[in-house]
Amino acid sequence: MPKGYWVSVYPTIEDPRRLDVYNKLAGLAVKAAGGRRLAGIGSRVDAHEAAIAERVVLIEFDSFEQAVAARASAAYQKALAELPHGFQRDFRIVEGID
């Protein structure tokens, strides 16, 4: 069964501290859903084309369905509610290659 991945790209982050509550709650939600962070806060990025190097987060789940369910979970919805007003990111759920 192919794995599922959350891929988030943050175009700009003016004040990373504004994400502290979201990061804490999202981390708990991901862990509870069986997700594993592969890359994220503090990871080095060598950006090309659009040159978005601010932050990329990559989280792995055992299946695509598990990744989708984690995004829909009450715990993650609580985390999303803590994203700062006007905050932008590019978030997607991708099915891995089996």
The string of pLDDT tens digits covering residues 12-57 is 777 778 889 999 999 999 999 999 999 987 788 888 888 777 788 9
Q: Write the CATH number for 57.
A: 3.30.70.100
The count of structural domains within the chain is 1
Looking at residue 66, its pLDDT comes to 98
Domain extent, residue 19, equals 4-95
Say what the pTM is. 0.89
C-alpha 3 chain-centroid distance: 15
Q: What is the mean pLDDT of the chain?
A: 91
> Please, which residues have CB within 8 angstroms of residue 3's CB and are 6 or more apart in sequence?
60, 61, 62, 63, 64, 95, 96
Looking at residue 81, its pLDDT comes to 93
